[in-house]
Amino acid sequence: MPVELKHVTCTYSPGTSQEIRAVTDLSLKIQDGEFVAVMGRTGSGKSTLIQLVAGLLEPDSGQVLLDGLDIHARGYDRSALRRRVGIVFQYPEYQLFEITVEKDVAFGLKHSGLKPEEISLRVRLALERMGFSFEEIRKESPLCLSGGEKRRVAIAGILAAHPGILILDEPVAGLDPLARREFLQMIRQFQEEGMTVIMVSHNADAVAEYAGRVLVMAEGRLEMDGDTRTVMSDLQRLRSLHLDTSAAGQAAELLRQRGVEIPDQTVRYDELLGALTEMMVKS
Ligand SMILES: Nc1ncnc2c1ncn2[C@@H]1O[C@H](COP(=O)(O)OP(=O)(O)OP(=O)(O)O)[C@@H](O)[C@H]1O
Ligand SMILES: [Mg+2]
């Protein structure tokens, strides 16, 4: 289910005094099973981009194609699109509103045409995937959970629909370091099982560690698009866009400036430690 954007432009409040061009002439293709991070400073168009991919916003011009089909063409099956592309907004915990966790996770399947037994099974499996004991959590009120738990419940609601593409807007903001790592490892596992993951994040460490490809937006345009190592080691370009590389990439740069021979394109902790360990063994 590849996603393709062809020369997409998107404007909010067109024709009014508040008109804002959020995305300009954006073209890109995302293949099945990729883990793509979207970076860019605030207001650069990241959330607009992912809402275009999910079909929640319509371009003024250009096309959004899923599996080669224009999702805004007349006759396109929009209900199929909603099932296949799951989007988790920033702070999804604020979207929980049912009286029990079980009902909340089942909500998106209400009109799916699935049998009640199939829905129950999917809800159970989705909650278990997100690390819960189904029996313990099912009758809880979402309001009584911690922020991190609420977020996992919200994501279970998306997973229950079995999306082929999972889109996450700033999923780790506000999580403590351990919760962040657990969360990202779960997402990585979904990707390893074949899901396409598109993740907006300001967290360069998370991007360097987990994404295979990075898109960098600036003022509504796609300024960088490449494999994670290449993008995250292009410090000059990143900094010209008011961004920075990962902490490991920054440490590698400082070490190089002090004459330590760290290999180019070192942007992850394990790589940095590997390079330093090898040096210590040699000396
Ligand atoms: N619903 C809206 N109505 C009008 N303008 C909007 C709307 N949503 C976003 N914009 C504007 O479109 C531009 C791109 O916004 P967008 O939300 O895509 O940026 P972003 O990269 O996700 O930013 P952030 O990192 O702050 O989440 C900004 O100038 C923003 O003010
Ligand atoms: Mg945003």
Q: Which residues of 120-139 are buried (b: 16+ CB within 10 A; e: fewer)?
A: bebbbebbebbebebeebbe
Identify which of 19, 39, 44 to mutate to test ligand 1's pocket (most ligand atoms within 8 A of the CB): 44
Span from the CA of 54 to the centroid of ligand 1 (angstroms): 16
Q: State how far Cα 39 lies from the chain centre.
A: 10
- For residue 229, what pLDDT is reported? 96
- For 179, the token pair is 């919760």
Span from the CA of 42 to the centroid of ligand 1 (angstroms): 8
Q: What is the pLDDT of residues 89-117, one digit of tens each?
A: 887 878 888 999 999 999 988 888 899 99
Confidence of residue 274 (pLDDT cuts 50, 70, 90): very high
Q: Which residue lies with its CA nearest to atom 3 of ligand 1?
A: 12
Q: What is the pLDDT of residues 210-246, one digit of tens each?
A: 999 999 999 999 999 999 999 999 999 999 999 999 9
Residue 173 has pLDDT above 90, yes or no: no
Span from the CA of 152 to the centroid of ligand 1 (angstroms): 25
Span from the CA of 221 to the centroid of ligand 1 (angstroms): 13
Q: Which residue lies with its CA nearest to atom 4 of ligand 1?
A: 12
10: three-class secondary structure by DSSP:
strand
Cα–Cα dist 247/141, whole Å: 39
Identify which of 39, 47, 223 to mutate to test ligand 1's pocket (most ligand atoms within 8 A of the CB): 47
Span from the CA of 282 to the centroid of ligand 1 (angstroms): 51
- Residues with a beta carbon under 5 angstroms from ion ligand 2: 47
- For 208, the token pair is 């360097």
Residue 251 has pLDDT above 90, yes or no: yes
Q: Which atom of ligand 1 is nearest to the CA of 23?
A: 14
Span from the CA of 79 to the centroid of ligand 1 (angstroms): 26
Q: Which residue lies with its CA nearest to atom 16 of ligand 1?
A: 45
- Assigned CATH for 32-55+73-234: 3.40.50.300
Residue 205 has pLDDT above 90, yes or no: yes
Q: What is the pLDDT of residues 33-85, one digit of tens each?
A: 999 999 999 999 999 999 999 999 999 999 999 999 999 999 998 887 888 89
Span from the CA of 115 to the centroid of ligand 2 (angstroms): 36
Residue 280 has pLDDT above 90, yes or no: no
Ligand 1 cavity residues, CB under 6 Å: 12-13, 20, 22, 40, 42-48
Q: Which residue lies with its CA nearest to atom 2 of ligand 1?
A: 12
Q: What are the residue ranges spanned by the domains of the chain? A: 32-55+73-234, 246-283
Measure Cα distances from 87 to 108, 191, 258 in Å: 12, 15, 44
Count of CB atoms situated within 10 Å of the CB of 201: 22
Strand partners, 225: 215
- For residue 24, what pLDDT is reported? 97
Confidence of residue 282 (pLDDT cuts 50, 70, 90): confident
Q: Which atom of ligand 1 is nearest to the CA of 45?
A: 18
* Strand-pair category, 213-218 with 221-227: antiparallel
Residue 209 has pLDDT above 90, yes or no: yes
